[in-house]
Amino acid sequence: MAAHSALAETGAEYTLVLVEEDDDGTRPAAYRAINPWGQVPTLEDGDLVLTESAAIVLYLADRFPDSGLGPEVGTAERAELYRWLAYLANAVQTTCMRWFYPERFTTDPDAAGAVRDRAALALRGHLNWIDSELAGRPWLLGDRPRGADHFLFMLTRWARFQDPPAWDRPNIGGHWQRMLERPAVQRMMSEQELS
């Protein structure tokens, strides 16, 4: 979601290719040939094949500097973009993955519930902190949405099943609504058939 809406934000023409998986969760061999881990997303731009959502968002910010996805390179605000994307990808997204797929993080089937419970607790902590960081400001950095805001939008949607849902926090909820109003996000939601 984050890479897709960030790409739409650039205004560049693109072709979206949906990746199906079989009943065992395996992605097609043709896709794994360009992305050996079989994960989504993958961005192909000429000869460049790039994986990892945060890397794609940063690449798009560099490739399309007029898109507003990233502040000018070398500025303190650009450093904050790096920090937010690293935190959202490495801490929050991985915590979401432990909550959604606890069985992947233990060899003991009876421990999956404990893994999920611990992930839920950690995720609440992350979301509460992010909500406090958004207090008094509409975006994660500065006065306009950046690539990190697309990433937070994705994680907010993922955390809709938390107790409480991520968007029930006042500042995250306001951020979610502002992002949802963006044409690029609407395009991504429509193209991915998300409600």
pLDDT (tens digit per residue) in 86-128: 999 999 999 999 999 999 999 999 999 999 999 999 999 999 9
178 lies in which domain range? Answer: 76-187
Question: 47 and 102, same structural domain?
Answer: no
The predicted model scores a pTM of 0.94
Cβ atoms of 165 and 17 closer than 8 Å: no
CA distance linking residue 54 with residue 51, whole number of Å: 9
Number of domains observed in the structure of the chain = 2
Question: 82 and 45, same structural domain?
Answer: no
pLDDT number for residue 39: 86
pLDDT number for residue 19: 87
CA distance linking residue 48 with residue 75, whole number of Å: 26
pLDDT number for residue 18: 86
- What is the H or E stretch that residue 6 is in? helix 2-10
- Low-confidence stretches of the chain (pLDDT < 50) are none
